[in-house]
Amino acid sequence: MVRVSELGLVALAALIGALAGLVVFAMNWATQALHELIFLIPHDTNLSISQLIPAPLALLGPALGGLAFGLASWLLLRRATIQPVDPIEANAVHGGRMSLSDSLVVALQTLVSSGVGASVGLEAGYTQAASGMASRIGQILHLRRADLRLLVACAAGAAIGAAFDAPLMGAFYGFELILGTYAIPAFVPMMTATFTASLTRHLLQPLSHPALPPLDIPALEQLPAVILLGLLAALLGIAVMRGVTLVEAGFRRSGIPLWLRPAMAGLVIGALALWNPAVLSAGHGAVYHYIAVDGTLPMLALLLAAKLTASAVSIGSGFRGGLFFASLLMGVFAGRVYASGLDVLLPQLGGSHAFYALIGMSSLAVAVVGGPMTMTLLALEMTGDLQLTLAVLAASGTASLVTRRLFGFSFATWRFHLRGENIRGAHDVGWLREITVESLMRREVPELDIGTPIDEARRRYPPGAASDLVVTSGGLYAGMVPPAGLYQGETDPSLGDLTLAARLRHPNEKLSPQTTIREALNLFESTEAEALAVVGPDGRVVGILSESHAIKRYSDEMRGRLSELTGERID
């Protein structure tokens, strides 16, 4: 039903949305329970803004929790050889295929990390668990590649939409960050999933957010100040991502055992929490608090530095989680610092500090996470103010452009880059890797030994008998000879005595069975060859591939990808 009916896919998206809403509710409940148990905060009080945390627990909670987390993770994963696949990587490389068991382990690690106070976001756990369930269901139903990728994106977007009570924002999170494109056929399933997830969350846990202060949006002539904040947020976002990498490198060089690193980071986080609890956990509640609360420039700058430090040491030490939630709070601090600086330096350009806090929140999140429309819609659903949304869009676009030009990665794709995986987003590049030369090559190879006399070679392969000839020496690849090359002596008597060795072409250019179609096409272009031999690891010829066949297969696959974007469904 799902394969042949769009209505079936929409119904499946609704089911996935409901599951995502359940995941968000369950993880929030469990995290809050850990906060209340470890830090003895009152029921339903947000950890990051609680002023009632006993000092010993603020210091020792993250440290001892980190020790327990490190030991448990080491015991559980010490024999693991493959890292879990997240939704972005799944959609970019694996056609939406994810391991449900690995995803649940990541979600549990994220829950515990945030539960013991590590400065990480729960969004990684939300999206991992929801997308893992969606991928498993899709694989059971044998969905086609495009539909499985869409289902994974629906699950991730629904989880984020439910977490923020922002279904539109969740939908664009799915489009921009997980699916990698704004595909029209995906619109209805995506919106169905995000609205279903938000509704499920509301039924289980009605949400109420603190009222925001008056925003006092600046006039049009103050737009340069908004754009400048977007630029500065991009620079700060790059610094955050680089900082996490530096902390990781520092831990590796320190020689501290893997299982002990979270405890060391916990001591740093706990020490910072003694000064201000805003550094603890994701800080979702602190976002609303610090948009509205008054604060001096030095205090806000210190809060920004403390949250940045806590997030860097948390992720760099091995705690599980994301930077999405943390980047929102850091962006609020950055926007407030910027507004306070404007008040001092250019009071005529000053505006509402809450306004600049929202601009900073969205811009920094764009720099770290990506998705300018995602963050713009988050601001719209938080405030309901369209004029503010236009200002956020300008700043977010600036942050996105500057980050791409100066850095080129979001935090997720930067992590892939560090481990040698060249993924710039969730766009489907996996099919290019799955189509290898081995699946394209012709295995019947017209072959000649390099010592074969020219007359014998002409007799065995008269004109028209073969399009390409492979020459071997002692059974190993030596080069190629075009059939016309066997008859060069007939038109030019001076070449009549040349051996096969003198007529060889491309002796060093060859393909391996594992070469991808993109790499093969690049080699054809650089060598200007019409065909190349496929050579195994032992140097023996196992096949031959023509450029025309590779181009045809590449074109066929590109048409298939285009049909997914236009909504054409082909069995």
Examine the domain organization and report whether 455 and 476 are in the same domain: yes
Examine the domain organization and report whether 298 and 337 are in the same domain: yes
Query: Does the residue 362 lie in any domain?
Result: yes
Cα–Cα distance between 266 and 62 in angstroms, integer? Answer: 4
Query: Does the residue 225 lie in any domain?
Result: yes
Query: Does the residue 279 lie in any domain?
Result: yes
Based on the structure, what is the number of domains in the chain? 3
Q: Mean pLDDT across the stretch 374-390?
A: 89
**Domain coverage including residue 539:** 435-557
Examine the domain organization and report whether 178 and 235 are in the same domain: no
Give the range among 128-132, 476-480, 552-556 with minimum mean pLDDT: 552-556
- The domain that holds 13 is classified in CATH as 1.10.3080.10
Query: Does the residue 212 lie in any domain?
Result: no
**Rounded to the nearest 10 degrees, what angle do helices 386-406 and 372-383 cross at?**
160
Q: Which residues pair with 470 in a beta bridge?
A: 447, 480
Q: What are the tens digits of pLDDT across the range 58-92?
A: 999 999 999 999 999 888 877 766 788 889 988 88
Query: Does the residue 366 lie in any domain?
Result: yes
Q: Does residue 24 register a pLDDT over 50?
A: yes
pLDDT of residue 465: 75
Q: Does residue 41 register a pLDDT over 90?
A: yes
Q: What are the tens digits of pLDDT across the range 391-404?
A: 899 999 999 999 99
Examine the domain organization and report whether 169 and 300 are in the same domain: no
- The domain that holds 459 is classified in CATH as 3.10.580.10
Q: Does residue 550 register a pLDDT over 60?
A: yes
Q: Does residue 491 register a pLDDT over 60?
A: no
Of 360, 394, 424, the residue at which a domain comes to its end is: 424
Where does the pLDDT of residue 552 fall: very low under 50, low under 70, confident under 90, or very high at 90 and above? confident
Query: Does the residue 402 lie in any domain?
Result: yes
pTM for the full predicted model:
0.84
Give the residue among 316, 320, 332, 338 at the shortest CA–CA distance from 241.
316
Q: Does residue 229 register a pLDDT over 50?
A: yes
Check: CB of residue 150 under 8 Å from CB of residue 16: no
Cα–Cα distance between 68 and 66 in angstroms, integer? Answer: 5
Please give the residue that has the higher pLDDT: either 62 or 181: 62
pLDDT of residue 398: 96
Query: Does the residue 571 lie in any domain?
Result: no
pLDDT of residue 444: 86
Of 153, 174, 204, the residue at which a domain comes to its end is: 204
**Rounded to the nearest 10 degrees, what angle do helices 187-204 and 6-39 cross at?**
40
Please give the residue that has the higher pLDDT: either 22 or 81: 22
Of 375, 405, 424, the residue at which a domain comes to its end is: 424
Examine the domain organization and report whether 270 and 390 are in the same domain: yes
Q: What are the tens digits of pLDDT across the range 511-531?
A: 999 898 888 888 988 888 889
Q: Mean pLDDT across the stretch 465-476?
A: 85
Examine the domain organization and report whether 312 and 338 are in the same domain: yes
Q: Which residues of 271-309 are buried (b: 16+ CB within 10 A; e: fewer)?
A: bbbeebbbbbbbbbbbbbbbbeeebeeeebbbbbebbbb
Examine the domain organization and report whether 181 and 33 are in the same domain: yes
Examine the domain organization and report whether 365 and 228 are in the same domain: yes
Examine the domain organization and report whether 406 and 439 are in the same domain: no
Query: Does the residue 567 lie in any domain?
Result: no
Q: Which residues of 310-325 are buried (b: 16+ CB within 10 A; e: fewer)?
A: bbbbbbbbbbbbbbbb
Examine the domain organization and report whether 415 and 439 are in the same domain: no
Examine the domain organization and report whether 316 and 400 are in the same domain: yes
Examine the domain organization and report whether 381 and 408 are in the same domain: yes
Q: Mean pLDDT across the stretch 140-150?
A: 90
Where does the pLDDT of residue 141 fall: very low under 50, low under 70, confident under 90, or very high at 90 and above? very high
Q: Does residue 424 register a pLDDT over 70?
A: no
Looking at the chain, the whole-number percentage of residues with pLDDT higher than 70 is 92
